[in-house]
Structures are given as structure tokens and as C-alpha cells.
Amino acid sequence: MIKRRVFRKICFLLTAVSCAVFLLAACSGRSEETGAELAEEEARNGPEEGEYTFQDVEGNEYEAPLLSDVPKCTYDLSKIKTDEETGVKSFHDEENGVTARFGIDVSEFQGEEIDWNQVKESGVEFVIIRLGYRAYGDTGDLVMDAMYEQNMKGALEADLDVGVYFFSQAVSAAEAVEEAEFVLKNIKPYEITGPVVYDTEEIKWDTARTDGNTDNDFTNFCKVFCDTVEQKGYDAMIYSNMKWMAFTLDMEELTEYDFWYADYHDIPQCPYDYKIWQYSETGAVPGINANVDLNLWFEKEN
């Protein structure tokens, strides 16, 4: 009787141990599977919390807090392809229904002799044209880009989607409104389908009239310009790089606006959402006898 009881206890213990081992293995498998899924999700969507690192154009490395309330980049960046011969990038993510159009941005620095039909035939689908800028000096004069009208007419005649950008040096909300109204006045004669972009950035290696602006000023002027433009029915956008987004603009105040993000690394470093990625300032496009900025415009497919 005692031996039988001992035998039963041994069987019970063996069964319990077997169950425990089975459960531990199952949990471990689920843990590994969950870890893999999380790693894949992080690679696709970026980190969910903590901090992130990035490099500027000079190779300097920075660390910045990741803002939880700012929408994250969800593009599967592994889908970015680069033509080895031309350096032109493309993006198509059939699974998630996202594709990107190839485009350029131009100003008077690309010269007078742009063959817009050749630009179009080369595969360029959109162009963002510099409309003008505010001068660095104390007077802060509003200046039209010398090639604005010629570029605008040529690009539209070539049936390209066209947007514009304005380089700001506003030091007050009133000046940001003035810049927006200057842009609105000069795009009114044209049928533009692209964004109206507010370009605010650091002036390197020189003094600027905006050197006394606070971070709050720069953020507020973005909102003022974009709101003024959108009130007239145009799509507003903010041009910025990673350093400006990380340390100057209050991104939590700008979540309702689209971004045109400049980053000349092979893969964009920005953890936040953006619509256009400017990936090169030394591109070559048939029809333009100068280096030109190259861009991808990410869009959800219908």
C-alpha cells in the first residue's frame, strides 16, 4: 500500500514536471515570436519610446528624446531602391499601399536654360519651385526668385505637378503673415497642385536677422504662415531637417501640418511622419545644366 502511494506520488510529480516543461517551452516560444514581431515592427515603424540618434550633413551625431505624441514614420524603408547609375531613388510598398513619386526642387541657382519637357520625359513627376525669400539683412526685404515666373510657366506647360516654397527670415508673427500673403499674391495666377512650403532653417556660417528668435518663435511662425495659406485653400507644408525638428521646432505643436524632410543619408533618419523626403542636393536630371535637389513624395495609393 505504501509502495503504491509512493509510486502514485512519483507519477504525479513526473506529470507535473512534464507539464511545467511544456508550458515553459510554449511561453518561451511565444516570447521569442513576440520579440521577433516587436523587432520587425520597430524596424518598420521606428522606436516607440526613449531616445533616438541621428547625424547631420557634416557627420556630427546627436541624441534627442522621442516625442510620444508626435505621429511616427510608418514607411517600410526597406522598400527604398536606388538606381546605381543615376542615383535616383524609388519607393513602392504594394503590401501597405504606399508609393512615392519622384520630383525635384529648383530656384534661380539651376540657371535660365531648363528644358522642362526633357525634365518631364526623364521621369520627374513633380517640382517645387522657389517663389522667393526674405533677405538676411535688417531691412528684411521680400525678394522674388529671379527665375520664379519662368520656372513656373515652363513646369506647368510640361504638365508637371507644381508646388512652391518660400525661404523665411521672419522675426515676428506679422512678418510670417506678410510672407504668406506675398506667396499667395504670386501664386494666384497659376494652377498649382503641389504644396505651399514654409522653409525655416538654421543659417550656417553667417549671421541672420532670425538669430534672436526663440524656439517658440520659429514654431509659431510656422503655424501662422501655414494657417494663412490654408485659409485660401492651398495645402501648406513645412520644410525642415532632423536637427531643426529635434532641437528647435516644437513638434508637438505642429502635428496637424505636413513636413518636407531634408536628409542626405541613404535612408531617412527621421522617426516622425513626413510627406516628402529631399534625399540629395547634388542630383543630375536631363534638361537641367546644374546640380538639383532630388525628392520622393510618399502617397497612399487609391
For residue 218, what is the domain's CATH number? 3.20.20.80
What is residue 293's three-state secondary structure? strand
Q: Using CA atoms, how far apart are residues 162 and 141, in angstroms rounded to an integer?
A: 25
Mean pLDDT, rounded, for 138-154: 96
Q: Using CA atoms, how far apart are residues 275 and 268, in angstroms rounded to an integer?
A: 12
Answer yes or no: do 120 and 194 share one domain. Answer: yes
Q: Are the beta carbons of 144 and 162 closer than 8 angstroms?
A: no
Backbone phi and psi for residue 268, each to the nearest 5 degrees, phi listed first: -60, 140
pLDDT at position 162, please? Answer: 98
Q: Are the beta carbons of 163 and 197 closer than 8 angstroms?
A: yes
Answer yes or no: do 91 and 224 share one domain. Answer: yes
Give residue for cell 512650403. Answer: 197
Nine-digit cell string for 8: 502514485
Q: Using CA atoms, how far apart are residues 181 and 166, in angstroms rounded to an integer?
A: 11
Per-residue pLDDT tens digits for 7-38: 333 333 333 334 333 333 333 343 333 333 43
Q: In Å, how far are 11, 20, 28 from 14, measured between CA atoms?
A: 5, 10, 21
Answer yes or no: do 136 and 213 share one domain. Answer: yes
- Predicted TM-score of the model (pTM): 0.83
- Domain assignment present for residue 56? The answer is no
| Nearest-10 crossing angle of helices 215-230, 173-187 | 30
Answer yes or no: do 31 and 88 share one domain. Answer: no
Per-residue pLDDT tens digits for 177-189: 999 999 999 999 9
Answer yes or no: do 27 and 166 share one domain. Answer: no
Q: Are the beta carbons of 197 and 164 closer than 8 angstroms?
A: yes
- Is the pLDDT at 92 greater than 90, yes or no? yes
pLDDT at position 38, please? Answer: 37
Number of domains in the chain: 2
Answer yes or no: do 22 and 118 share one domain. Answer: no
- Domain assignment present for residue 18? The answer is yes
- Domain assignment present for residue 222? The answer is yes
- Domain assignment present for residue 253? The answer is yes
Mean pLDDT, rounded, for 72-79: 97
- Is the pLDDT at 111 greater than 60, yes or no? yes
Answer yes or no: do 262 and 162 share one domain. Answer: yes
Q: Are the beta carbons of 262 and 239 closer than 8 angstroms?
A: yes
- Is the pLDDT at 254 greater than 60, yes or no? yes
- Domain assignment present for residue 46? The answer is no
- Domain assignment present for residue 98? The answer is yes
pLDDT at position 49, please? Answer: 63
Answer yes or no: do 100 and 215 share one domain. Answer: yes
Q: Using CA atoms, how far apart are residues 182 and 176, in angstroms rounded to an integer?
A: 10
- Domain assignment present for residue 59? The answer is no
Answer yes or no: do 127 and 25 share one domain. Answer: no
- Domain assignment present for residue 67? The answer is no
Q: Please give the residue range of the domain that contains residue 292.
A: 79-300
Nine-digit cell string for 256: 496637424
Answer yes or no: do 29 and 124 share one domain. Answer: no
Backbone phi and psi for residue 185, each to the nearest 5 degrees, phi listed first: -60, -40
Exposure pattern of 129-147 as b/e (b: 16+ CB <10 Å)?
A: bbbbbbebeeebebeebeb
Answer yes or no: do 32 and 160 share one domain. Answer: no
